[in-house]
Amino acid sequence: MQRKLSLTLSTLLATALTACGGGGGDGTSVSGPSTQVQGRWSTAVGSAPAHTAIGLPAANASAAIWVLANDASRLMKLSAQDSGALTGKAYALGQNTAATAVNGQWSMSASKAMTLTGLPSGTLALAQADAFTSAAVQADAAGAWKATVGSNAQSVSWTVAASGAVSGSSTTGCTYAGTLAAMTNASAYTASVKETCSDGASAQFTGIATLNSAKNALSMVATNADESAGVALFFSK
């Protein structure tokens, strides 16, 4: 399964990326410093490579942040602690390499500029693009979605029901089943999708999905159960 999703789907270019999010964050919120993390963030124009980040609502004195390089070369799943510590893992997408542990720091300026240090890519300075507080609408994710992946133009097709149930298949012989559940305290969907392939491999991926403003592009970032692999998927209707 890792061979299918993490090495095939994650080779998609990030031009279709609308946002990315992180696992967790739909629980009881708290009032500590990590509550400042919620939002959609981006690096300055001209950054190489540029990055987009999504911070989710804080819970249990921490907040999840997912950071994706806009060239789809790297994904990071991070946790910003109230103490200022930043922990998590970084994934080189499209490569059969082990995840890299992240042990850094995060800080927030009075002007809502967030700085992340201790990352494999160095220090990132991000500005908030929006607060990301509007509740997601379940019906907006419904429909038929397709992604074309890899140099051989393989495709992945998903159908999302009005209930959020996900089903689908790929031209590489895999099937997909799971859910996209609208969050009430952020503009994202919690995603849980199992991939089962014809060679007997299978795995569960969990993460976050988001839509663009036109509701015709769906982006998902996720990790497998033991967080040894990360994936980024970009679909269109």
Structure confidence by residue, pLDDT tens digits, 5-42: 433 444 333 333 454 433 444 444 456 999 999 999 99
**pLDDT for 98 beyond 60:** yes
Q: How many residues does the chain have?
A: 237
Indicate the average pLDDT of the chain.
Answer: 87
Answer with the residue of higher pLDDT: 12 or 215: 215
Q: Mean pLDDT highest for which of 75-79, 146-150, 228-232?
A: 75-79
Rg (CA), the chain: 17
Sign of the alpha-carbon torsion through 235, 223, 193, 157: positive
pLDDT (mean) for 63-67: 98
**pLDDT for 217 beyond 90:** yes
What is the distance between the alpha carbons of residues 61 and 176, in angstroms, rounded to a whole number? 34
Q: Global pTM?
A: 0.87
Q: Is 5 exposed, middle or buried (0-12, 13-18, 19+ CB in 10 A)?
A: buried
- Of 190, 185, 225, 189, which is closest to residue 204 (Cα–Cα)? 225
**pLDDT for 235 beyond 90:** yes
**pLDDT for 214 beyond 70:** yes
Q: How confident is the model at residue 69, as a pLDDT?
A: 94
Q: pLDDT for 130-186, tens place per residue? A: 999 999 999 999 999 998 776 667 889 999 999 999 999 999 999 999 999 999 999
Q: How confident is the model at residue 11, as a pLDDT?
A: 38
Domains delineated in the chain = 2-14+134-236 (2.40.128), 18-130 (2.40.128)
Tell me the CA end-to-end span of the chain in Å, nearest whole number: 25
Q: How confident is the model at residue 6, as a pLDDT?
A: 39
What is the distance between the alpha carbons of residues 10 and 5, in angstroms, rounded to a whole number? 7
Q: How confident is the model at residue 149, as a pLDDT?
A: 73
Q: How confident is the model at residue 219, as a pLDDT?
A: 93
